[in-house]
């Protein structure tokens, strides 16, 4: 049984992290697996990039630009530029040896110039079983990755809030109609990382007749594990005696990441829990502009991008709590990583997040957009009477549900099933 995982990248983005972790987990499980990507900074046996050469990189960049340019006449404004993918341009990979040899083709995140709708149709027409792990809503919408409060995808899309001129038969309607023709006869076996996304997919007009199951992303619990917090703080020159709240996002200015509510929550603590004013500090990583950093009401340590996995693990271990104010999310890698390191997580009760966090056992779940509740969650974790128990529960929950062997076995069973059904 030869399995081919396909993802835009092996390194950039949450889906890339999840796909590469699954690749490693399957290898360790004894599955013959390869990972095909458009671009990669990884040099690892079994990872194959279409853009290894200079010409390949130029071609891939050209596909990305063409895909983005095709959307420019339709986008409402710059804020939605990367939240909607028309899949108008992409690579033709059907003749790639790995695609031809594969018994099962396992798609992950394929947008931004990697695979177009035309390219997907070519793959589907090979007649091979397709497993598709959805890392967002794009496989069943008319182009958006997260629909927010819009549910047009349930019937036909149209009147899209991401478009400059929404109408009954706008770009989203036409894309969904095109997808329907391609998806209809394809041997699709859809996987969601969370039950939340599965329920949305089953309500959609595109996937309501397709098999959709939920399998979480895996994590290497031999790497992401508890470490001595004092040593970890020394690595980043962080204070030993302060309580540290950790926040991180690839782009914290994206509205979906909910930074507005984190700022309000911290302001609430500053005003209503003055006993913490000299005891608590903030640690931030990822892309965060200076103006935003200056607006935090507590002393903030800006660590920017953490490139080393070892440093990332130490950073989770250096924190007393990790906060995720996202307004819509699937199954965030950051939450799983933090819990695996024994660091409790405070987050809004949205998307697949409550499947990761057990309220008052491994962290705290606040009502969505309730800044005061988010603040109370941070205080609750910091003042927890038995923090060791909270940390142990967090770690044990990940070991039981998301460890590499647990997830690899679920996928192995799925591959056998789709091959037998073929």
Has residue 162 got a pLDDT over 80? yes
**How far is it, in rounded angstroms, from Cα 399 to Cα 222?**
10
> Which of 281, 371, 270, 377 lies closest to 327 in space, CA to CA?
371
Which residue range forms the structural domain that includes residue 315? 229-401
User: Which residues does residue 39 pair with via DSSP β-bridges, in sequence order?
Assistant: 9
Are 133 and 106 spatial neighbours (Cβ–Cβ below 8 Å)?
yes
Instruction: Dump pLDDT digits (tens) for 27-79.
Output: 999 999 999 999 866 667 889 998 877 787 888 889 999 999 999 999 999 88
Q: What is the number of structural domains in the chain?
A: 2
User: Are residues 287 and 210 part of one domain?
Assistant: no
Res 138: pLDDT: 97
Res 422: pLDDT: 66
Res 100: pLDDT: 97
Residue at token pair 């047009």: 152
Mean pLDDT of 328-351: 92
User: Are residues 111 and 260 part of one domain?
Assistant: no
Res 362: pLDDT: 94
Q: Which residues contact 58 (CB under 8 A, 6 or more apart)?
A: none
Has residue 169 got a pLDDT over 70? yes
Burial class (CB in 10 A: 0-12, 13-18, 19+), 71: buried
Q: Is residue 380 part of a domain?
A: yes
**How far is it, in rounded angstroms, from Cα 175 to Cα 157?**
9
Q: Is residue 224 part of a domain?
A: no
User: Are residues 325 and 269 part of one domain?
Assistant: yes
**How far is it, in rounded angstroms, from Cα 336 to Cα 78?**
31
Residue at token pair 């050209």: 62
The secondary element (H helix, E strand) that includes residue 197 is: helix 195-203
User: Are residues 213 and 282 part of one domain?
Assistant: no
The domain that contains 275 carries what CATH number? 3.40.50.2000
User: Are residues 368 and 415 part of one domain?
Assistant: no
Q: Is residue 257 part of a domain?
A: yes
Helix axes 309-318, 333-340, angle to 10 degrees: 70
User: Are residues 411 and 383 part of one domain?
Assistant: no
Burial class (CB in 10 A: 0-12, 13-18, 19+), 144: buried
Q: Is residue 223 part of a domain?
A: no
User: Are residues 245 and 285 part of one domain?
Assistant: yes
User: Are residues 262 and 156 part of one domain?
Assistant: no
> Could you tell me the sign of the dihedral formed by the alpha carbons of 304, 309, 314, 317, in that order?
positive
Q: Is residue 387 part of a domain?
A: yes
User: Are residues 411 and 354 part of one domain?
Assistant: no
Instruction: Dump pLDDT digits (tens) for 267-289.
Output: 999 999 999 889 999 999 987 77
**How far is it, in rounded angstroms, from Cα 316 to Cα 248?**
10
User: Are residues 182 and 110 part of one domain?
Assistant: yes
Instruction: Dump pLDDT digits (tens) for 354-401.
Output: 999 999 999 999 999 999 999 999 999 999 878 888 899 999 999 999
User: Which residues does residue 104 pair with via DSSP β-bridges, in sequence order?
Assistant: 3
**How far is it, in rounded angstroms, from Cα 6 to Cα 34?**
9
The secondary element (H helix, E strand) that includes residue 36 is: strand 32-39
Residue at token pair 């933090």: 338
Has residue 290 got a pLDDT over 90? no
User: Are residues 209 and 194 part of one domain?
Assistant: yes
User: Are residues 410 and 392 part of one domain?
Assistant: no
Output the average pLDDT for the chain: 92
> Which of 147, 222, 133, 174 lies closest to 410 in space, CA to CA?
133
């Amino acid at each position: 049984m030869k399995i081919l995982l396909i993802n835009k990248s092996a390194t950039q983005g949450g889906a890339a992290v999840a796909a590469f972790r699954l690749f490693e987990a399957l290898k360790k499980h004894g599955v013959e697996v390869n990972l095909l990507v458009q671009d990669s900074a990884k040099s690892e046996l079994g990872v194959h990039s279409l853009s290894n050469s200079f010409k390949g990189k130029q071609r891939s960049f050209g596909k990305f630009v063409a895909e983005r340019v095709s959307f420019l006449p339709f986008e409402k404004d710059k804020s939605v530029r990367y939240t909607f993918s028309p899949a108008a341009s992409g690579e033709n990979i059907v003749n790639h040896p790995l695609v031809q040899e594969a018994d099962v083709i396992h798609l992950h995140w394929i947008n931004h110039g990697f695979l177009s709708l035309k390219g997907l149709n070519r793959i589907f027409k090979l007649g091979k079983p397709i497993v598709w792990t959805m890392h967002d809503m794009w496989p069943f919408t008319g182009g958006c990755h997260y629909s927010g409060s819009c549910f047009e995808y349930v019937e036909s899309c149209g009147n899209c809030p991401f478009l400059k001129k929404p109408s009954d038969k706008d770009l989203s309607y036409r894309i969904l109609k095109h997808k329907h023709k391609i998806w209809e006869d394809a041997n699709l076996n859809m996987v969601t990382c969370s039950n939340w996304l599965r329920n949305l997919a089953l309500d959609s007009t595109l996937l309501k007749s397709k098999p959709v199951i939920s399998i979480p992303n895996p994590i290497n619990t031999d790497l992401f594990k508890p470490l001595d917090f004092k040593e970890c703080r020394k690595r980043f020159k962080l204070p030993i005696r302060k309580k540290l709240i950790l926040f991180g996002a690839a782009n914290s200015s994206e509205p979906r990441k909910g930074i507005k509510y984190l700022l309000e929550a911290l302001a609430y603590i500053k005003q209503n829990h003055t006993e913490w004013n000299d005891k608590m500090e903030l640690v931030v990583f990822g892309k965060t502009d200076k103006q935003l950093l200056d607006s935090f009401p507590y002393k903030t340590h800006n660590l920017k991008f953490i490139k080393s996995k070892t440093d990332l693990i130490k950073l989770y271990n250096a924190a007393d709590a990790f906060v995720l104010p996202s307004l819509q999310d699937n199954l965030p890698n950051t939450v799983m990583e933090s819990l695996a390191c024994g660091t409790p997580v405070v987050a809004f009760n949205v998307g697949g997040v409550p499947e990761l966090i057990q309220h008052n056992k491994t962290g705290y779940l606040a009502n969505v957009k309730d800044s005061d509740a988010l603040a109370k969650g941070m205080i609750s974790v910091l003042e927890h009477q038995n923090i060791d128990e909270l940390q142990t529960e967090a770690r044990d929950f990940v070991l039981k549900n998301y460890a590499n062997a647990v997830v690899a076995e679920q996928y192995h069973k799925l591959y056998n099933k789709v091959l037998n059904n073929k």
